[in-house]
Structure 1
Amino acid sequence: MVRILNLLAVVALIGSAIYAYSIKYQTIFHAERIVKLKHEIKAEEDQIATLRAEWSHLTRPERIEALADKFLDLQPTGLRQIVSADALPAKTARADGIGDKLEALGLAEPTNTPGDAAASAPTTPSTPTR
């Protein structure tokens, strides 16, 4: 009987040691993974900073102005080019083919929505008389 209890104690001790070591190695694995992810995040942040610096370099106003002068044949705005709003052409109405077809079918009027029908209908059903 004592030998069986000793054997069970040794088996329990070995099992708990295996469990403890498995937890230890899982913790080490996850810690290494966290460090690796932190390095990847830092690399991505550095890349984002580099791209922002490049973007700010490319969008400098003096650079864009020089490129516009070189490649676009722009002329300064003259005083006679500025007009009042009354001198602008009137906006033309666009044709709505689908709307015209709906009007021709008589479907252009507003319809009753389910909320409107529910407001006009009684809220309780009528009970049949016996």
Structure 2
Amino acid sequence: MRSFCLLAFGCLVGLFAYTYDLKIKTRALETDARELITALQDESDFLALMRAEVSYLSRPERIEEMAKKTLKLEPISSQQLVPWSAVGTGASVQPSSSFATPVRRDGIAALIEKSSIQSAVTVTGER
């Protein structure tokens, strides 16, 4: 009878230890779950912020203003248009002066072009 009581007490202590360990692991998992929920909420907020920023940056009025400011586009002239018959037949159309390369206003690009022209002249002059 005494051994049975010791065995029952040992089983009871084992069950308490198992229950305590299970409780600790459950609390750790709950903490991890709360951290994941917080991180998920933060990412959701960040995603909403990025969507709002993209919609703000891609407003047509803003893009139109930037295009006018930076691209400085001009309306199409009739000299730039190709007749439809030339498109269908593949005939070559002589480009008008409006197709010419625009004059560069960039100082460095002008220097590069000038030096490349001078080097081409010196190379052809040596031959």
Give the residue type in structure 2 aligned to 1:23: L
* 2:10 aligned with 1:11: yes
Q: CA deviation at 1:81?
A: 3.9
Distance 1:7 1:63 in 2: 83
Count of residues in Structure 1 that have an aligned counterpart in Structure 2: 90
Aligned to 1:86: 85
Measured on the aligned residues, the alpha-carbon RMSD in Å equals 2.0
Over the matched positions of the two proteins, sequence identity in percent amounts to: 37
Distance 1:90 1:60 in 2: 39
1:88-127 deviation per Cα after TM superposition (whole angstroms, max 9, x unaligned): 3739xxxxxxxxxxxxxxxxxxxxxxxxxxxxxxxxxxxx
Greater share of residues in helix: 2
**Under a length normalisation based on structure 2, what TM-score does the superposition of the two structures give?**
0.63
Distance 1:28 1:56 in 2: 42
Aligned to 1:25: 24
Distance 1:34 1:72 in 2: 51
Give the residue type in structure 1 aligned to 2:72: D
Compared CA separation, residues 15 and 61, structure 1 to 2 (3 A) = same
**Under a length normalisation based on structure 1, what TM-score does the superposition of the two structures give?**
0.62
Distance 1:45 1:51 in 2: 10
Aligned to 2:66: 67
* Unaligned runs of at least 5 residues, structure 1: 92-130
Q: CA deviation at 1:86?
A: 3.0
Distance 1:63 1:54 in 2: 13
Secondary structure, in 3 states, of the residue corresponding to 1:7? Answer: helix
Give the residue type in structure 1 aligned to 2:36: L
Distance 2:90 2:37 in 1: 60
Q: CA deviation at 1:23?
A: 1.1
* Unaligned runs of at least 5 residues, structure 2: 92-127
Give the residue type in structure 2 aligned to 1:31: E
Q: CA deviation at 1:80?
A: 5.1
Secondary structure, in 3 states, of the residue corresponding to 1:74? Answer: coil
Distance 1:84 1:6 in 2: 107
Q: Using CA pairs below 8 Å that are at least 6 residues apart, which structure has the higher relative contact order? A: 2
